[in-house]
Chains A and B, each alone.
Chain A
Amino acid sequence: MAYPRLIGALCATTMLVAPAFAQDWPQRQITMVVPFSAGGPTDTVARMVAERMSADLGQQIIIENIGGAGGTLGAGNVAKADADGYTVLLHHIGMATSATLYRNLAYDTLDAFEYVGLVTEVPMVVVSRKDFEPKDFKEFISYVKDNADNLTLANAGIGSASHLCGMMLMSALDVQLVTVPYKGTGPAMTDLLGGQTDLMCDQTTNTTQQIKGGTIKAYAVTTPERLELFADLPTAMESGLDGFDVSIWHGIYTPKGTPAEVNERLSKALQAALADEGVIKAMADLGTAPSPAGDATPEALKTKLETEIARWKPVIEAAGVYAD
């Protein structure tokens, strides 16, 4: 196999010359890898910010969707890409959880990437079928504790946002519900609408319209602060569920060895994009908001990734589910 060696040699040469052209970067179009299929929520976030970042950088950013294996294929691809600043990765919380969920990752999550910054943190809502008995979240907690054996909790598959949030919910309530996995949010939501399952916890991107339409019932949000969108919904934490703080955060990464100047420049472009009226409006429609400028930095993302890996590791290990 001369082929990987050839790539290795090429990578080595690009790393040697990398600092020399950091000042002139970017010279050509940049590829932003989204490790999920086109049209999904992560792809949507990527396309929103990429368009504004392109304007700031003066070079087109094109989106390449490399879906598969919970985002680890796309991330693995970027980990192996040239560290010249022309390949970047936009990934969500799965970047941190896959470090535990997948026991044979092709890359070392903490050692294969450089950081650009956080993009947005999408809050999640605990929802139920529309005729679920409890009136508010207080009642909900005691009801679920009493009826744990008879309740079903839907999720969109292992490693999905709803799966993570569901694990957090069960661990916060200290109950074991009957988990019903689906292939994606669509079918999971359909069965919740039809009353085939009882509970779910999912991102506002997927739940907002259904809650507003009255087809499902919302009980609590999973962020430390209440949301402007659902001002009357309590947070899980204020209702006594300590540490129940889940959001689907998105970050932008580059391959290890990408010059610091390039990452800084990308981070500036990201901050500019996040301050854009159009982006703020588009994110608000999805029930989320851009990360503050202070979080759209390499340091903030690095800290976030490290703490999140540490936080999810015990939760996933306790649940005993792995995706590999």
Chain B
Amino acid sequence: MSTKPKDGTDIAAGLLLMAAAGFFGWQTRALEIGTSLRMGPGYFPMVLSGVLFLLGLVVFLRAFGREDDEPFGKIAWRGILFILPAPIFFGLTVRGLGFVPALFLTSFIAAQASVRMRPVPALILALAVTILSTLIFSYGLGLPFRRFGPWVQF
């Protein structure tokens, strides 16, 4: 395709590593560095950020003049959209809704990540997961979660 071969994946990796190093380095600025003899909280992270930046730079530079041997491939947008919010949702609702409804909705949301999962089987699956987990964790092990929280009590 392009005239000069370059490894797009490693370019991205290098840039990402340097960005991460930048973030940590930037966050370190408020911390006291100290001396090598009496190190402050910022000393070790500062050194590490520097090393990470250098490594990122090496990855970035070496990416030029080389073919990308494994293309980037598809991105699981649907997965990202439904899998990642599932634990967040659980965390936000487990106290308010209680263990049972929060878990049911969490499983249901996660199930949406697959195109093969139809709504009715998803409901059945979420229900089964909820019933079994409630039996195991709440009744069996007595975990201190309220089964139904204040938001669903009337």
Residues of A within 8 A of B (CB): 3, 6-7, 10, 14, 31, 62-64, 82
Contacts and interface: CB of A to CB of B under 8 A. Distances in A.
Given A62-B142, A62-B144, A64-B144, A10 B150 contact: yes
B151 interface: yes
13 contacts: A3-B92, A6-B96, A6-B151, A7-B96, A10-B150, A10-B151, A14-B150, A31-B144, A62-B142, A62-B144, A63-B144, A64-B144, A82-B150
Nearest to B92: A3
Contacts of A10: 150-151
Nearest to A86: B146
A14 B150 CA distance: 10
Interface of B: 92, 96, 142, 144, 150-151
Q: Which 5 A-B pairs rank lowest in CB-CB distance, beginning with the nearest?
A: A64-B144, A62-B144, A10-B150, A31-B144, A82-B150
Nearest to B144: A64
A3 B92 CA distance: 9
Contacts of A82: 150
A240 to B, nearest CB: 33
B149 to A, nearest CB: 10
A73 to B, nearest CB: 14
Contacts of B142: 62
Nearest to A81: B95
A63 B142 CA distance: 10
A54 B4 CA distance: 75
Contacts of A64: 144
Given A6-B151, A31-B144, A62-B142, 10 more contacts: A3-B92, A6-B96, A7-B96, A10-B150, A10-B151, A14-B150, A62-B144, A63-B144, A64-B144, A82-B150
B9 to A, nearest CB: 38
Contacts of B144: 31, 62-64
A3 B144 CA distance: 23
A65 B4 CA distance: 59
B88 to A, nearest CB: 13
Contacts of B96: 6-7
Nearest to A82: B150
B31 to A, nearest CB: 13
Contacts of A63: 144
B40 to A, nearest CB: 13
A10 B151 CA distance: 8
B96, B142, B150, B151 — most chain A CB neighbours (10 Å): B150
A39 to B, nearest CB: 15
A181 to B, nearest CB: 12
A10 B92 CA distance: 16
A210 to B, nearest CB: 30
Nearest to A63: B144
A72 B108 CA distance: 34
B4 to A, nearest CB: 50
A180 to B, nearest CB: 13
Contacts of A31: 144
B146 to A, nearest CB: 8
A198 B144 CA distance: 42
Contacts of A62: 142, 144
B99 to A, nearest CB: 13
Nearest to B93: A3
A62 to B, nearest CB: 5
Nearest to A62: B144
A10 B150 CA distance: 8
Contacts of A14: 150
